Amino acid sequence: MLKPLIISIILLFSFQTIYAQKKYINRKVAQKNYDGYLLMTEKKYHEALQLFDEAISDDSEAFFIYQNRALCKLHLKDTIGAIADFKTNINLEPNNAETRYALGNIYKHWKDSANAINYFVPAIEIAAEDFSQTKLVYMSQFAGNYYRLNEKYDSALVFYNRVKQYTPENASVYINCAVCSFYLDSLDKFCANLEKAFVLGGDINCIALSAYCNGCTHLLEARGHTDTLSRALDTRLAGIISDTIYYRQPKNRPYDFWEKDNNRKVKVYFNENWQICLPEKASYYREAFWTKALNNFGGEFKDYYITGELFATGRLERTKIVGDYAEYYKNGNPKLHAQFNHTQPIGIWNYFLKDGDLDMKIIFKNETFEIKIINKNNPNAEITSGTGSFEIVTEKWKDLSFVLKGEFLKTNRNGVWTYQQNDEIILKEKYKNGKFRNGFVESDFGRLPLTKSGIQGHIFIPPHLTQITALYFSSIEAARHYSFIKRVEIEY
């Protein structure tokens, strides 16, 4: 039985012998190619491969033979050899969309999406009018998903719109377009695509449409039936309309399915210590969606200085920050470019000076991290050589500075490391030649000993992000001001 990879390629790849590239084809060579093709139809792959080898030996520029030999090698489980032949075919016949499709499909089944895209996209662009529509939809859908998942929403829409042309009754592609439009801040297009998906029977409910758009009463007749209290919602909308995905209805409590404040855009004000406060006492504010079931912010958010300049942008899923996060100085220059995976720092974080120059990098590796100072005038510059002490202020509020201090010896942690709030030590650890010796953490229960290092990558998470999630209020008056926020902790 053929492997799934070979089956999918054979089913979606037509045997073609196009003789447009070479002006003259030796009859003997063409006959060997044809005889090899017939042997493949009889599953005599070894005999077919021998004829293809002979034909290519006689004429190494007979491009169409490489295409057939590649397919033969796939049957013989020589995928690497098949790839080489497909690539040779492309070099000799650049406009062969079929070969590019076949190569892209191999990489797709290998889960190598980047290489698959490198062949699918050109195949779509050069495909002739009679090229298989099934394959075009297949490749365009894959390309759209690839770019969407990599947050290149403009590029994703190009390919999703192609899918719409071929399959205009496909509700799924309208959901994909809605997601991309949301992250491009095109809320009109977001609603238009969401409503179309609803009419076509996609997993969209009236609650979602009421939260963002004009509800769905006017769409029910077009859909052909009523929305019978279904909470079904496509998972691609998670983080955008998370409330309607994760909500669990309490027992013995009737739920009003038309509550208009399930997910709504809100503006919340914060003082200099990132406590929720009254607008007139604010230093910052956040614009984001409020998810009632989670009693917290959800989806994309933007934080601003009280004077209106952008302070930060990011995204939350179930109160956990995910994806790209950025902070800015008041002059508009970048302050921090970071990445998160469910609140865990990942990748390379870049810190900038007010003039826009790069100051330092933090490279996260699993739970640990590496510090690289780029700015030669940075007082910690000596640690870039691998040896020296440092003191890094991770964030500064009105009344608090969060400071990490430590020492490296030949790139290894050494001596005493501390994490402090002002002069108060929260974490203290001792190292020798990179090995953790002992340490403690100050907690609500007093000083607790550590059996392993607590100074890991999470130390660099901007503390105000945790403060915001905790929903601390500056006063009782502030708590009363935000009536949509339930379950609060009040400090005053």
pLDDT per position as a tens digit, 190-244: 999 999 998 888 888 777 787 778 777 778 767 665 554 455 678 788 667 754 4
Pairing of strands 472-473, 489-490: parallel
pLDDT per position as a tens digit, 290-330: 887 788 898 899 999 999 999 999 999 878 898 999 999 99
pLDDT per position as a tens digit, 15-72: 343 333 444 557 888 888 888 889 988 999 999 899 988 888 888 888 888 988 989 9
Looking at residues 252-267, what average pLDDT do you find? 52
d(Cα 320, Cα 28) in Å, to the nearest integer?
67
Q: What does the block give as tokens for 13?
A: 């790849």
Contact between 114 and 103 under an 8 Å Cβ cutoff? The reply is no
Q: List the chain domain ranges.
A: 4-147, 169-246
Residue 417's closest CA among 429, 434, 432? 429
Q: Which CATH superfamily is domain 4-147 in?
A: Tetratricopeptide repeat domain (1.25.40.10)
Residues 6+ apart with CB under 8 A from 392: 371, 380, 403, 404, 405
Q: Residue 82 has what DSSP assignment?
A: H
- The letter for the amino acid at 38 is L
